[in-house]
Structure 1
């Protein structure tokens, strides 16, 4: 039986699935470890099932290197990927028609007294290409830690020029954890259609993008790439009916410690969170026995300013590929009644006040 097609979105020159595979977990053994061979094998299984876009960064441990090795090996073994016969074969089996897409990041955390010249920016692009073992970066995303250094504007001017010149092949540009004010500033500075994405936290718990960010995205045609959408796995069936974990005694991941604090100290209480999970379980049952994670992810994807959700994949450690695929099969959408049930629970939370306690998108990292 052929796999149903997965929902996609156009980001400038790119057509991508609406769920991306995040490689953050490769940055630390705290999320579990697996042999590199198993990690690459799982990457290949995701790719073959339509999850063609992988999100990584310069500081995600060996993520760029492992992705580069995987992509090079795939193209070496299947170097007729764009041939007529190969395209016909792949279409007949609903397999990807292009190599896996590289979405990586250049993250500037430290203040620098050395100006960011075009040459310095080009060196950063070349380094990303070297580590991902390719001559193309499909989407290069930039994180900038210190807004008081306004060199980020010059960096994006140079990146736009580099992309247009074409000597270094960067297909699309995006941001990471930029707030609404600075997304707007960059878009107005570099011109329309140049900045395509901003990667921020967004979930049923953290709804800060519904404020100014949504308006800025609409104004400039920017799409959000969201992470934390499942709150480290808390928005899933295994936590339904479970007592509140102790972050210092129970075995939970670093991500779960972070999101548990938001759930219980900012958003609401564990009891209210259980009410949310119960409502999501009821909605999932109404759609033919889907998962809580499917419903929580679909809620985020249904916002028009969201391009894709990035799921943290503990490749070789935990497997959620088939469940993720059910979220973006084109027949699954939340109804008005579904959304009202969710809204009734969210109205009892402090979610809409998080922007005042946590700040705008990305503020928690500054």
Structure 2
């Protein structure tokens, strides 16, 4: 296959980054652009060639099990996971570094096998991430890491393995991905994906014929960096986006409308790792006053449709053509947002709604210039 990174004259169908392009005819190779239609608007399919996975468009994010959001009782957490699955939200996102997340999934999937029909169990999807420490990516090390996740999650085959890499100057990420591709062919992984990779590295990975189905990135009405470069590559290649930070840890909610975090003991506190993380993003984007203007705009739209601010924020991101699913964090056994999640699929944003959101969002600073491309905040 001709190099996807060859220099060429750019046009509207191949433009990506300066002096780097992909032709549509070259790329139809692996990323099955003709995708099967999902069974309903609450489901989506990610696919590359014969690798295919159906997932919930609203995904239960399990970062909150790693500490900092309150003590998790394992049995209460598993019961909460079952309630989410019963409600139709049967895709769970976790990582090897999210505390007990993979073990909780293992407990949960066993409960499903015991208490639900086989067809129901087949609809459950566990998406995990592998976040290795910098070191030589040997076959033995990669396979041992994947086997550990399989054991924790109590599954023969991982539905999706999302790979993260810390340092692009170390090209060992290609070695790791080639070993992961071999493990996929051997039946230990069903679909192979990325998390927090930028557009340039996704180019390189696809050019190396690694069968990537999705890339998990930060994406919200505040952080629209994936629209800049990543979405165009996804459109050409068929790789889909799975998004996190879409409700900004809860900042995009009625709770923070009219609040002032600079006043101690007044109003809601930034008392979780995710709230603190995304408050920093707000500060970089445009500050709290502009954020309040955005919340007011979202509130007006949410009132119009009879839904919450969070539902509007998620719907906006799900409406982006290259987005397969968006994460909603779950504090298992402590609180949930099932009713909000259901409502996401019961209304539609009209052109005026999206124009009003874009108008305020674009008043903020260009985070692409400040932070860099998707995932650059981790490097």
TM-score (structure 2 length as normaliser): 0.84
Decide whether the 8 Å contact of 1:22 with 1:313 is kept in 2. Answer: yes
Matched, 1:345 2:360: yes
Matched, 1:14 2:27: no
Question: 1:356: which partner in 2?
Answer: 369
Matched, 1:42 2:51: no
Q: 1:137 aligns with which of 158, 173, 176?
A: 158
Question: 1:228: which partner in 2?
Answer: 245
Number of residues paired by the alignment? 335
Decide whether the 8 Å contact of 2:60 with 2:91 is kept in 1. Answer: yes
Pairing 1:249-288 to 2, within 5 Å after superposition = 250-264=269-283, 266-287=284-305
Compute the displacement of 1:76 (Å). Answer: 2.3
Pairing 1:49-68 to 2, within 5 Å after superposition = 49-68=87-106
Question: 1:107: which partner in 2?
Answer: 131
Q: 1:318 aligns with which of 335, 359, 362?
A: 335
Compute the displacement of 1:61 (Å). Answer: 0.5
Compute the displacement of 1:27 (Å). Answer: 0.7
Compute the displacement of 1:234 (Å). Answer: 0.7
| Partner Cα distance (1:223, 1:195) in 2 | 9
Compute the displacement of 1:248 (Å). Answer: 10
Residues 248 and 362 from structure 1, CA distance in 2 versus in 1: closer, same or farther, beyond 3 angstroms? farther
| 1:92-126 Cα distance to aligned partner (Å, 9 max, x none) | xxxx4624211011112x321x3x23333222221
Residues 198 and 246 from structure 1, CA distance in 2 versus in 1: closer, same or farther, beyond 3 angstroms? farther
| 1:8-65 Cα distance to aligned partner (Å, 9 max, x none) | 111122111101101101111x111232111111100000001111001111001100
| Partner Cα distance (1:99, 1:209) in 2 | 29
Matched, 1:24 2:57: no
Unaligned runs of 5+ in 2: 1-39
| 1:159-198 Cα distance to aligned partner (Å, 9 max, x none) | 22222233x2x1101111111110111011125xx10111
Residues 203 and 125 from structure 1, CA distance in 2 versus in 1: closer, same or farther, beyond 3 angstroms? same
| Partner Cα distance (1:217, 1:311) in 2 | 22
Matched, 1:291 2:326: no
Compute the displacement of 1:6 (Å). Answer: 5.7
Unaligned runs of 5+ in 1: 83-95
TM-score (structure 1 length as normaliser): 0.87
Pairing 1:297-336 to 2, within 5 Å after superposition = 297-327=314-344, 329=345, 331-336=346-351
Question: 2:212: which partner in 1?
Answer: 195
